Structure 1
Amino acid sequence: MHRPGGVYSTSYAREIALLQVPLEKIALALGLAVLLAWPAVAGPFAMTLTIFVLIAAIGATGMGLLLGFTGQISLAHGGFMAVGAYTAANVGTLAGFDMVSAAVMGGLAAAGVGLFFGVPALRNKGIYLALTTFAGQFIILFVLYLPVLDPWTKTVKGYLMPEPSVLGLGVPYARRDLFFHYFLVVVGAVALLFVKNLLRSRIGRAFLAVRDNDIVAEMLGVNIFAYKLMAFGVSAFYAGFTGALFAYYAESILPEHFNIFVSINYVFMVVIGGIGRLWGPVLGAVIVVLIPEGLRLLTAHVGAIFPAYVVYTEQAKLIIFGLIVIVLLVAEPRGVIAIWDKVKSYFQAWPYRYV
C-alpha cells in the first residue's frame, strides 16, 4: 500500500485509533448527518436506491476483507448471498424467526457453505482460486434449481418472503423504506466497526501478513491456510447476511437474482473503491449501484427521443459503464479512496506543500 512519507503518529494508541486525524472525524460526522437527514428530503425512488447502496456496501465490506486485506479472491459471493437469502426465507417462514435472527442464520449458513468450498479452493492461488470459486458459484445455483428442493426454493414462482419484523414487532408497510434505511445504517456501521477492530487484532495482522507475503508469513509461524479459511468464512457470512437483507427488502427471490454478475460486481466494488482500504468497498458500492442506474435512466430517455435506437440502449449502458470504470482505474489505480488520501495528506502537510 502507498502512503506519503512523513511522521503521522507519535504514539501506538494514535497509530491504531479508529479515526486517526480530525479530518476523518469531520467527514464521518458529515456522512452520518447526511444519512440521518436523507429520508426527510428523498423521494421513494431515491430511498430505494439508497437502500440498495447500503445493502451492497455491507456485502462489499465482506469482500473487501477477503480481497483487500487477505489477498484472496472469490467469485462465489453471489452464490453465498443466495444461500443466506434462502436460509432466511425458510427459517423466517417455517420457524417464525424475525428478520434479524433469520438474517444471522442466513449468514451462518453461508459461512458454512463458504468453509466447505474454501477447504479445497484455498489450496490454490490467484487465477486458480478465482476459477475454483467461479465453479462454486454455479454449483450453488445448480443445487438451488434441483426439483427435489423446490418446496424450499420455489424456483418457478419465486419465494415470497415473510413480513419483516424485529423482536416480534412488525414494520408498517408505509414506514418500510424508513425502517430499512435506518436499520441498514446501523448494521453497516456495525459491519465496518467489526472489520476495523478485527484488523487491529492479532487475527487482522495475520491476514495482512498472508496478503503481503504468505511464504514469509508461514516461515514466521502463521498458519496461512487457517487464516485464509477464516477470512473466507467471515466474507461468506457477510455475503449471506447481505443476501438475507436483500431478500427481505425485495419481498420475493429467485436464484437468478444471485447470478455470476452479482459476484463480479462485488469484486468491482472493491477494486474501484480501493483495495486494502476500509471505506473503499463502500465507495465502490455507491459507484457500482448508482452509475448503472443513472445510465439506465439516461439511455431510456434517449431511447424515447430516438425510438429507432431504443434496441441499442442496453448495450450503450454497458459500454458507457465500462468506459467509466476504465477511466476511473486509469486515473487512480489505487481506487477512488485514493482521492481522499490526497486531500487528507494535503491538510496534514498544510501550510507546507510537502510533509
Structure 2
Amino acid sequence: MPCGEYFTSYESRMGLFRWRTQRIALVLGLPIPFILPFALHGGLISTITQIYIFTIAVLGLNVILGYAGEIVLAQGAFMAIGAYTTSQILADGLFGIQIGLLPAMVVGGLLAGSVAVLFGIPSFRVKGFYIAISTLALQFISEWFFNNGQLEWLHGGTQQTMPFEVGLVGQWLTITGTDMELYFMSLVLMLLFAMVSLNLSRSGTGKVFRAIHDNDLSAGVLGINVFRNKLLAFALGGFMVGVAGGLFGYYIGFISPGYFTLDLTLQHYVMLLFGGLGRVWGAMLGVGVVTTLQEFLQGFLQSVASNATSLEPVFFGVIIIVVLAVEPKGILAALGQIKDYLRNWPFAY
C-alpha cells in the first residue's frame, strides 16, 4: 500500500482503482487512445486496430487458460466461427431480418461459446493436455469444415467478402468501414471486454475459476461444482473470442480459412505468455508488444534483403525464448519487479 493511503471501508478496499496514483493515471491516460488516431497515418491506425481486436481474443483465451487453467488449442476455430457467422448474418440477415453488425457479432460469439462448451464437455473426465487434444480436434474440424465446398449451404462459402456499409444496430448508425470507424469501434469493444475481464477476476466466479486453476480436486472438496464452472469458463472465453473473430472479419473485409489456422492459436498463446498469464494488463501488454515486434522485424528484414523475411520466425522465436527464460511470468511481472526495486532504491529494504 502506498505510504499515506489507507482504507476506511471494504468497498474502497475492493475498488478497481484503489490508489490515488492509479486514478490519476486513468484520468491522464484514458484520453490518449481517443486522441491518438488524429496524429497518426493510416498504416499505424490499422496496426493499432488489429492490436485492439487481438486483445479481445487474447482476453477470451485468458479467461479459459489464465483464470480456469484449461488448455485450449482452438483459438483459430472460435474466431472462424465468429467471423463466418457474422458474415452470413450481414449477407442474409437473421431469419430474414437485418440486425446490424454489433448484434451479428454477438450471435457469432454466442455460437462460438456454445461450440466451446460442447468441446469442453470432456473436461468432466480429463484435464490438462488431454482436454487440449479435445480442443485441438475442434481446430482441425473447423479447418476441414470451412474448406469443404460441399458444405457451402451451411457456412456460406469458403471465401467470403464482408459488406463494409452496414448499420451497427439494424439499419441505424451506418458505417462504411473506414480506418477511423474501425479504430474507434475496436477501441470501445476492447475497453468493454477489458473491464468485464477485470471485474470477473474480482468476482466470486473469478475466484472460483482461480480455485479450479490451482487445484480442482481441492475446489471440489470445498463444494465447488468444478465441471459446471469449467464449462462456464469455456462459454465466456469462447464468446469473447467469437466476437473478436467477427470484428476481425469485418476489419480485413475478406475471410478465408487460411486466416484462422493453428498458427493464429499459437500466436495468441505467445502474446498471452509474453505479457503475463492470468492478468488482464499482461494480455493487453503482450498483444501490443508482440504485434509491434513483428512489424519491426518485418520492416528490418525487408531492408536487409528481399528474401530475409523468411528468417522472421527465427528472430522472433529467439526473442520470446530469451524473455521467458529471464522472466517466465511475463513482462508484466518483470515491470513489477522493476517498480518494487525503484520504490526501495537506494535502500535495500
Q: Same fold (TM over 0.5)?
A: yes
Map of 2:252 onto structure 1 = 250
Asked if residue 58 in structure 1 is aligned to residue 56 in structure 2, the reply is yes
Cα displacement (A) at 1:162 = 1.9
What letter is aligned with 2:82?
G
1:72 to 56, 67, 70: 70
What letter is aligned with 1:171?
I
Map of 1:147 onto structure 2 = 149
Cα displacement (A) at 1:346 = 4.8
What letter is aligned with 2:205?
I
Cα displacement (A) at 1:336 = 1.0
1:279 match: secondary structure? helix
8 Å contact kept, 1:122–1:229: no
Output the CA distance in 1 between the equivalents of 2:144 and 2:123.
18
1:19 match: secondary structure? coil
What letter is aligned with 1:314?
T
Output the CA distance in 2 between the equivalents of 1:199 and 1:143.
35
8 Å contact kept, 1:79–1:137: yes
Output the CA distance in 2 between the equivalents of 1:350 and 1:97.
58
Output the CA distance in 2 between the equivalents of 1:137 and 1:351.
52
Map of 2:311 onto structure 1 = 316
Map of 1:286 onto structure 2 = 288
Map of 1:296 onto structure 2 = 298
Output the CA distance in 1 between the equivalents of 2:35 and 2:105.
26
Asked if residue 229 in structure 1 is aligned to residue 234 in structure 2, the reply is no
Map of 1:342 onto structure 2 = 337
8 Å contact kept, 1:280–1:335: yes
Cα displacement (A) at 1:317 = 0.7
What letter is aligned with 2:282?
G
What letter is aligned with 1:339?
A
Q: CA RMSD in A?
A: 2.3
Q: Deviations over 1:82-127 (max 9, x none)?
A: 0011111111110122110111011001011111111125532222
Cα displacement (A) at 1:33 = 2.9
Q: How does 1:29-68 map to 2 (within 5 A)?
A: 29-68=27-66
| Aligned sequence identity (%) | 32
What letter is aligned with 2:132?
A
Output the CA distance in 1 between the equivalents of 2:20 and 2:341.
13
1:170 to 162, 170, 174: 174
Output the CA distance in 2 between the equivalents of 1:32 and 1:278.
16
Map of 1:307 onto structure 2 = none
Asked if residue 215 in structure 1 is aligned to residue 251 in structure 2, the reply is no
Aligned residues: 340
8 Å contact kept, 1:90–1:152: no
Output the CA distance in 1 between the equivalents of 2:334 and 2:104.
38
Unaligned residue ranges in structure 2 (runs of 5+): none
Asked if residue 197 in structure 1 is aligned to residue 199 in structure 2, the reply is yes
1:170 match: secondary structure? strand
Map of 2:11 onto structure 1 = 13
